């Protein structure tokens, strides 16, 4: 009886180990950086290929498994998510490319940071994007020959560096 029990336990452990090892990772793509000005809306899209409309998805701030951003305690009504899918017309491509979009309305400096897309399919595939850095940029007005010219902060920094180099 003892030998039979050990075989059953060994077989059960082998099946569990094999199913964990055969779990495939879903390739989730996100842009590296998105920029927005204070008060604007920022939309971050992640995409993945999956042949069924049945999956769960969430966005987190940071790439750990923290609470989803759509949690009512964290969103203040400014954050919404949207799911979109399209059929592929190329025969060598898998069925469908899916999109999961995070939109943050009325962004502020406090919204700066990295946002990650987490996907889990009904077939046991998991995927996490590498993260999208949301940069909040300010516009700067610089007097240029009696005219006010609107520059982005990064453009202004580059102009200052360029001016300094031309002086030397």
Tell me what the pLDDT averaged over the chain comes to. Answer: 74
- Confidence (pLDDT) at 37: 97
Range of the domain at 69: 25-137
Residue 74 pLDDT > 50: yes
- Confidence (pLDDT) at 110: 93
Tell me what percent of the residues of the chain surpass a pLDDT of 70.
Answer: 60
Residue 92 pLDDT > 90: no
Residue 116 pLDDT > 90: yes
Buried b (16+ CB within 10 A) or exposed e, 50-72: beeeebebbbbbeeeeeebbeee
- Confidence (pLDDT) at 123: 86
Residues 116, 102: Cα–Cα separation, whole Å = 10
Residue 94 sits in the same domain as residue 143: no
Residue 83 sits in the same domain as residue 162: no
Task: Let me know if residue 4 belongs to a domain.
Answer: no
Whether the CB-CB separation of 134 and 116 falls below 8 Å is answered with no
Please report which confidence band the pLDDT of residue 152 belongs to, taking 50, 70 and 90 as the band edges. low
CATH number (domain holding residue 30): 2.60.40.10
Residue 93 pLDDT > 50: no
Q: How many domains does the chain have?
A: 2
């Amino acid at each position: 009886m003892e030998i039979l029990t050990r075989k059953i336990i060994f077989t059960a452990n082998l099946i569990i180990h094999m199913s964990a090892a055969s779990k495939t990772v879903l390739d989730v793509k996100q842009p590296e950086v998105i920029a927005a000005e204070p008060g604007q809306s920022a939309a971050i899209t992640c995409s993945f290929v999956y042949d069924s409309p049945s999956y769960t998805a969430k966005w987190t701030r940071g790439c750990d498994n923290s609470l989803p951003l759509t949690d009512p305690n964290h969103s203040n009504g400014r954050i919404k998510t949207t799911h979109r899918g399209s059929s592929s017309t190329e025969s060598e491509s898998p069925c469908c490319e899916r999109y999961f979009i995070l939109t943050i309305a009325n962004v502020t400096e406090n919204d700066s940071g990295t946002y990650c897309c987490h996907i889990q399919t009904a077939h046991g595939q998991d995927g996490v994007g590498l993260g999208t850095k949301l940069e909040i940029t300010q516009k700067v007005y610089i007097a240029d020959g009696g005219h006010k010219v609107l520059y982005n902060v990064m453009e202004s920094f580059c102009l200052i560096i360029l001016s300094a180099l031309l002086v030397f």
